[in-house]
């Protein structure tokens, strides 16, 4: 086997060059656009940006202010039910309360019903991670190896379906709306499907494959705070039952803030409500199941319309207004500095 022999460099020989090749690419001589920042281009960019942001901000604020919304806080009005729910031994006892309110004007168009929670933190890392996406896709997984603990299995080893703290704390109040028309009481028809995102309903959540849901979830048990198993969330509609239930899907999309609202129902526009909600007296009938007193929370029911920019949230419009104002003021400041420096330059040139 021959060994490689290295020869020392000869005296007087030039060392190998480490310079890049003399090409347009390696020598950075390719054609390029080099903007020249003149005072005209800089000022025009600031003023155009400011005008654009101010215009969009005004449109967004006006659009958000045109949303019709009514919000009812039922935390204190259902205090008897709240005290009952604070005792965990009363989990199987039903409690109902009614709240009356009046619409002074018609709410025309599509009307959405939300439930709102205050001081409920869903952004804790352990809470956010406490779920099994593989289980929610209908796969058979080892729950004990997931991040669902301590809401993964019972002491006897029975796995929870669905597992995790998010699913266990699901909002489970039942809210019905009634219209007091003349001397009769009419229940407002509400739609409980079509409220979740298409990707959630068809991609992220799926039921286990079986000839029926009860057999699909055989060998599992409901979470501790649930009153019924997951395959009974909507017995009347199989397409809205189990893991693909709209209420469950919406709750599993956690909020970044302690005060939030989730879409609960949509008013079905038929008969008396073909144009929306007419003015008059209404009543919320609430089956109270979700306790909030221990964490000093509040609960609301919101009836609202939507516009092209969304619901009643002026934050984005205000952000555009602030950005546009800042860009415009910056343009004026630069203009003032430029005029001041130009006067000094003219003065010294005359001297």
Q: From residue 167, how far is each of 31, 135, 161, 235, 301 by CA, in Å?
A: 58, 12, 9, 19, 21
How much is the pTM? 0.80
Q: Residue 93: its pLDDT value, please?
A: 83
Q: What is the pLDDT of residue 10?
A: 59
Say what the alpha-carbon torsion angle 228, 230, 234, 237 is, to the nearest 10 degrees: -150
Half-sphere exposure of 34 (CA within 13 A, CB side): 4
Element (H, E) at 57: helix 39-65
> Which of 237, 234, 83, 250 shows the shortest CA–CA distance to 170?
250
Q: Which of 145, 158, 173, 286 is nearest to 218 (CA)?
A: 158
Taking the chain, what is the end-to-end CA distance rounded to the nearest angstrom?
87
Task: Print pLDDT tens along the chain (351 aa).
Answer: 555 555 555 565 666 777 888 888 888 888 888 878 888 889 999 999 999 999 999 999 999 988 999 999 998 888 888 888 887 777 778 899 999 999 999 999 999 999 999 999 999 999 999 999 999 999 888 888 888 989 999 988 899 999 999 999 999 999 999 999 888 999 999 999 999 999 999 899 999 998 888 899 988 999 998 989 999 999 889 899 999 999 999 999 999 999 999 999 999 999 889 999 999 999 999 999 998 988 889 999 999 999 888 888 889 999 999 999 999 999 999 999 988 888 776 655 555
Whether the Cβ atoms of residue 113 and residue 177 lie closer than 8 Å to each other: yes
pLDDT of residue 145: 81
> What local confidence, expressed as pLDDT, does residue 192 receive?
93
Q: What is the structure's pLDDT at 211?
A: 84
Asked if 303 and 111 count as a contact pair (C-beta separation under 8 A), the reply is: yes
Residue 297 three-state SS:
coil
Q: What is the spatial distance between Cα 209 and Cα 310, in angstroms, rounded to a whole number?
A: 37
Residue 115: phi, psi to the nearest 5? -110, 140
> Distance between CA 195 and CA 113 in Å, rounded?
11
Write down the pLDDT at residue 187.
95
- Check if the beta carbon of residue 275 is closer than 8 Å to that of residue 269: yes
d(CA 64, CA 316): 10
Beta strand extents in 161-304 (DSSP E only):
174-181, 184-187, 190-191, 260-267, 276-277, 280-287, 298-304
CA-to-CA distance for 250 and 265, rounded, in angstroms? 11
pLDDT value of position 47: 95
CA 331 to chain centre: 36
| DSSP-derived secondary structure letter, 322 | H
**Exposure string (b/e) for 327-343, b if CB count within 10 Å is 16 or more?**
bbebbeeeeeeeeeeee
Query: What's the confidence (pLDDT) of residue 35?
Result: 79
CB 132 within 8 A of CB 148: yes
DSSP class of 339: H
């Amino acid at each position: 086997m021959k060994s490689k022999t290295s020869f020392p460099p000869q005296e007087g020989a030039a060392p190998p060059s480490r310079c890049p090749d003399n090409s347009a690419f390696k020598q950075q001589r390719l054609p390029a656009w080099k903007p020249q920042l003149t005072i005209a281009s800089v000022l025009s960019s600031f003023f155009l940006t400011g005008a654009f942001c101010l215009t969009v901000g005004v449109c967004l604020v006006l659009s958000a202010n045109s949303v019709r919304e009514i919000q009812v806080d039922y935390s204190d009005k259902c205090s008897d039910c709240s005290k009952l729910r604070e005792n965990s031994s009363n989990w199987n006892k039903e409690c109902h309360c009614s709240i009356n309110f009046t619409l002074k004007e018609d709410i025309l168009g599509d009307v959405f019903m939300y439930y709102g929670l205050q001081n409920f933190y869903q952004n804790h890392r352990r809470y956010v991670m406490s779920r099994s996406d593989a289980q929610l896709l209908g796969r058979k997984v080892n729950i004990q190896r997931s991040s669902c603990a301590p809401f993964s299995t019972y002491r006897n080893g029975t796995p929870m379906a669905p597992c995790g703290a998010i699913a266990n704390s699901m909002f489970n109040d039942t809210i019905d709306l009634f219209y007091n028309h003349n001397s009769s009481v009419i229940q407002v028809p509400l739609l409980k499907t079509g409220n979740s995102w298409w990707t959630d309903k068809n991609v992220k959540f799926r039921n286990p494959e079986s000839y029926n849901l009860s057999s699909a979830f055989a060998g599992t048990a409901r979470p501790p705070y649930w009153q019924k198993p997951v395959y009974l969330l909507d017995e009347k509609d199989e397409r809205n039952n189990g893991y693909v239930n709209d209420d469950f899907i919406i709750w599993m999309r956690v909020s970044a803030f302690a005060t939030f609202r989730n879409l609960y129902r949509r008013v079905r526009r038929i008969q008396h409500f073909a144009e929306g909600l007419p003015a008059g007296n209404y009543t919320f009938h609430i089956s109270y199941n979700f306790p909030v007193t221990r964490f000093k929370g509040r609960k609301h029911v919101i009836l609202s319309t939507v516009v092209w920019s969304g619901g009643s949230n002026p934050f984005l419009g205000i952000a555009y207004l602030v950005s546009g104002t800042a860009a415009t003021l910056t343009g004026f400041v630069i203009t003032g500095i430029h005029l001041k420096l130009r006067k000094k330059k003219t003065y010294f040139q005359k001297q």
